[in-house]
Amino acid sequence: MDNTTNDPQGVNDKFENSHYVTPYVEISGSSHEFASANSSLVLDTGASVNSFLDEAEIIHPVSDRRFLRVSYEMRKKLKYFFMNPIEKWNEKSRFPWKLCLQIVKIVIATLQVVLFGYHSYRYVKQHFDMTTALSRIFLKDWSLDVAVYPPSNGPYAAYTVPEFFDNINYIIIQYSKVVSIGIGPYGYDSLNGTMTPLKFCAKHYDGKIIPENLTVEIKNSVTERCLTIPPIHPASSPLWDDFSLENFLHASNFSLDFKTLIDAKLYIQLKTLFIKSLTKLDIPECYKIFISVLYDNSEHDGQLPISLSVNSDKIPCRIITKLGSGNENVYYMLRQLLNCSVIIFCMLSAVLCLRSLYSGRKLANEADRFFKRYYRKCLSFSEYIDFIDFWYVNIIISDILLIFGSLIKMQIEERSAEGIMYTKCSILLGVGNLQIWIGLLRYLGFFPKYNMLILALKRALPNILRFLLCAVFLYTGFSFCGWIVLAPFHVKFQTLSRTVECLFAVMNGDDMFATFALVNSPSNLIWWFSRIYLYAFLLLFIYVVISLCISVIMDTFENIKHVYRHGEIPQTTVEIFLSDESYTSLSPTFDDVEDNEPGYLERAQTWLRWNSFFQYIRHN
């Protein structure tokens, strides 16, 4: 007999030209027909059925060696494909390269995230402290640098016209002497250090409001007018103490009607620098600061909230000093080398995972052709998905995130990226590092005593999602109800987003007494509604929904323990095919077949030996 290839498609081509009839077998995936993956399976009627291959012997005796060869090779490929690295090591002593690569990648990627975390925290804290310092300098009687929740008093605001002008006059006076009174290294945005003009803008409705007769005459248009306030006095001059914005607006023919005022803004520009530690990675940084003070009157409720915002752009610095030492230069190069190493290892990891995914897809197509040819059974979509290892998909996504995050980090350390790039880099590196640590669960799943969490999540996830879908409807209804009714009277329900967060916090043990006590309404109806609403939510979600969710997970855990004790029932076509062990021992038969019926190569070698023997006799 000729040597046959291991390709089922090639065997199929030979079958089309031979006199054999393709053995037809009906594969049943019903789980009730099987008792265990490693035992003789018995039908409910009492008939003994080892597997669907035994049924093939009844329909057509499995005497065709080609079919045996193809079936054996397909079973061997499938079993090897679904082995974990430990089983492959025991089977063929194949070194787990991908596992070692992932371990090295996790170590260097985590080290990179730790180093960037310290650097990013210092950058964000530096700019936050700068905003706090400027607020204390420019805003009169501002003391909101310590956040208190719930707030003990109202927002920082102006309530009268004199308070409004007094607040702006204070800002302008402080601006005139910020260079001399500020602890930080502030400077005016000019080359010679002189004061730069300020800009005041006011936005109004186009019309008029007459409260006496309750008349409102407003057009649909909104007008905005800006006025430049020049440095009429030198910096730090005592003459600035007598400056009055109200008189300046009157002299400039700039009217300010608070009844139609939407908002007013005062714009200031400064320059500053951060000296830091003067090392290779902490060289001085220079920024241009854009300060905006907003007076918001959009609600027209008699309260004018005041807020200060700061934006900064990095500008070049003139550094006349020798920074760093040899050790600091080495440290800087090591950090850049670490970034390059993360990129290289992530690229290698992604390539290996893509190759494994391609191999799985290729084997799935090959198995589908095999079952379709010999068993008239096509792989379903869920069975086809079994050949796709989504752990590899998770690793590929994490590799992509880490590569882009490392590239941005290299730009930041080269001082060519600032500001929002810190946030983007933090998100990319953080999510990527989270995914590679989640990917470690795959390798723990290779050990029976350590994969409880993975199996519980995998098996409970469909039921949990169906359960949470019902719970989300209830939660959404409570959220809208609480927001609509309690928003005007409770600080935790002022917005829909805050309402959702408040209910979730209460469900997880937040300060429930404060939630009850913070209802601020003189109406008894609102007081009683808040009590009934909160009691109903707490009783339903804490004592019913959460308990049922835990019971779903515990039921899944009990099923997992049952599988450990009694084995798992094969359900898919591939599992049923691999669960049949009666044909695994047939591999020596194939060797005997090959020995008894040599192929063309062995026949040629025999002919050459006999030919050499006859030539030797002829010459002698």
Closest to 157 measured CA to CA, from 169, 172, 167: 167
Candidates 267, 258, 169; CA nearest to 226 is 267
Q: For the residues 528-545, what does the mean pLDDT come to?
A: 91
pLDDT tens digits for range 433-489: 999 998 888 877 777 677 777 777 778 888 888 888 999 999 999 999 999 999 989
**What's the rounded Cα separation, in Å, for the pair 295 and 166?**
13
Residue 56 neighbours by CB distance under 10 Å: 20
Which of 111-125, 219-233, 433-447 is least confident? 433-447
pLDDT at 267: 96
- Whether pLDDT at 204 is above 50: yes
**Is there a contact between 177 and 270 (Cβ–Cβ < 8 Å)?**
no
Q: Which helix (H) or strand (E) holds 526?
A: helix 524-540
At 48, is the pLDDT very low, low, confident or very high (cuts 50, 70, 90)? Answer: very low
Using DSSP, state whether 197 is helix, strand or coil: coil
User: Quick one: which H or E segment has residue 577?
Assistant: helix 573-579
pLDDT of residue 407: 93
| pLDDT value of residue 16 | 40
**DSSP designation for 235:** T
In percent, how much of the chain has pLDDT > 90?
30
Which one has a higher pLDDT value, 585 or 552? 552
DSSP conformation letters of 5-53:
PS-HHHHHHHHHTSSPPPPP------GGG-S-TTS--B-TTS-B---HH
The rounded percent of the chain whose pLDDT value lies above 70 is 76
For 316-437, list the strands marked E by DSSP: none
Check pLDDT > 50 for residue 333: yes
Angle of CA points 183, 187, 188, to nearest 5°: 140
**pLDDT at 150 exceeding the cut of 50:** yes
Q: What is the pLDDT of residue 2?
A: 42
CA distances to 38, 43, 267 from 570, rounded to whole Å, are 10, 14, 72
pLDDT in tens, 360-403: 888 888 888 888 887 777 888 878 788 888 888 999 999 999 99
Q: Which domains does the chain have, with CATH numbers?
A: 85-123+331-446 (no CATH), 152-315 (no CATH), 454-579 (1.10.287)
pLDDT tens sequence across 246-259: 999 999 999 888 98
Is the pLDDT reported for residue 56 higher than 50?
no
Q: Which pTM was predicted? A: 0.71
* pLDDT at residue 74, rounded to an integer: 83
Mean pLDDT in residue range 313-329: 67
- pLDDT mean across residues, the chain: 78
Q: Is the pLDDT of residue 564 over 90?
A: no
Per-residue pLDDT reduced to its tens digit, 59-77: 344 446 777 788 788 888 8
